[in-house]
A and B are shown apart, each in its own frame.
Chain A
Amino acid sequence: MIETSICQIVFYVFALLAILFAICVVGSRNPVNSAMNMALSFGCVAAILFGLGAQFLGIVQIIVYAGAILVLFLFVVMMLDLKDEERNTGSMRSAAVGTTIAAILAGLITSISLSLPGATEISCPMAAICDNIGELAPGAEATQATPTPGYGGSLPALSPAAAAKAVQPDISDAEAAKATSMQDIRLLGQTLYTQYNIAFVILGFALLSGTVGAVALARKIRKD
């Protein structure tokens, strides 16, 4: 029970920090401060993804968002020397209108999420930190995993044994039950390279065209 409350505290602390840093991104006048706050906010989001058991996506979040994208932003901000551009941060009226629209949207999303069937009933702790990994037998979790219809509130517990079975279908139940870590990356890769193989290749082309397009756009246009 103590572990559960620690998990809750970890989630809510990181959620609160992510929201606070996001507000700082919008509120700070200096774009460099905004970029730094954005990196911190993405770090907190990555921690929440880790807690959801999506380790690979958490790592990708840190590497891509807090690493690559932050560096690009800082590079552009410093290259353009935006210090004296930040004189009028916008009128009070537009700020009020924007805040109102965003608050209405947040309220809508909150009320919709709370009215999902079973949204606030059962739940699971932050999996990666404190699930009792390895306690479930391979057959036992099937009953536990699907009690709620539709988008219910329960996040079913992860089962490393079932994951091991999915990765290697020919291993025995006893061996699968010994698995202690969730084979997250392997399962993600299995989905990515089988079901979504063509989409993945097209994504590669999109990245390539993005790179070429960025170089073409930022090139100095010669007058002659």
Chain B
Amino acid sequence: MIPLAHYLILSGILFSIGLAGVLIRKNIVVVFMCLEMMLSAANVALVAFSRAQGTQGIPVYDAQVLSLFITAIAAAEVAIGLALIVAMFRSRRSVESTALNTLKD
């Protein structure tokens, strides 16, 4: 018997690991991977709530539709983000986030 809380805790831990990666890593490609992990952690919570709020044996499909939208938007976001990373590498020959300091100096 697995309570809803355990699914939520799993989702929260995955989200926190993603957040830690975004904060710690300097390589923008890895930062981007961590962003994807945060999105998929949100999916777990959404699907768990869709099961938990279901009545008469049918899950609430609105949450699952939202989760599907998140997946589709994540795919589009990866395409654009990686294109941005490629453009950044072309202009700066680096994908470290510390290389983005034009506004600083």
Measured in the bound complex, the distance between the Cα atoms of B33 and A214 in whole Å is 17
A-B contacts counted at CB < 8 A amount to 301
Q: A2 interface residue, CB < 8 Å from B?
A: no
Chain B residues within 8 Å of A142, by CB: 55-56
Contact of B57 among A102, A110, A162, A213 (CB under 8 A): A162
Query: Which of A11, A19, A124, A214 has the most C-beta atoms of chain B within 10 angstroms of its own C-beta?
Result: A214
Question: Main SS of the interface on chain A?
Answer: helix
Contact of B51 among A53, A68, A120, A220 (CB under 8 A): A53
Taking CB atoms and an 8 Å cut-off, the chain A residues in 194-224 that contact chain B are 195-196, 199, 203, 206-207, 209-211, 213-218, 220
Closest Cβ neighbor of B69 among chain A residues: A203
Chain A min CB distance to B71 (Å):
5
A90–B55 contact, CB under 8 A? no
Q: Contact residues of A with B, CB < 8 Å?
A: 4, 7-8, 11, 15, 18-19, 22-23, 25-26, 31, 34-35, 38, 41-42, 45, 48-49, 52-54, 56-57, 60-61, 64-65, 68-69, 72-73, 76-77, 79-80, 82, 85-86, 88-90, 94-95, 97-99, 101-103, 105-106, 108-110, 113-114, 116, 119-127, 136, 141-142, 145-146, 151-163, 166, 187-188, 190-192, 195-196, 199, 203, 206-207, 209-211, 213-218, 220
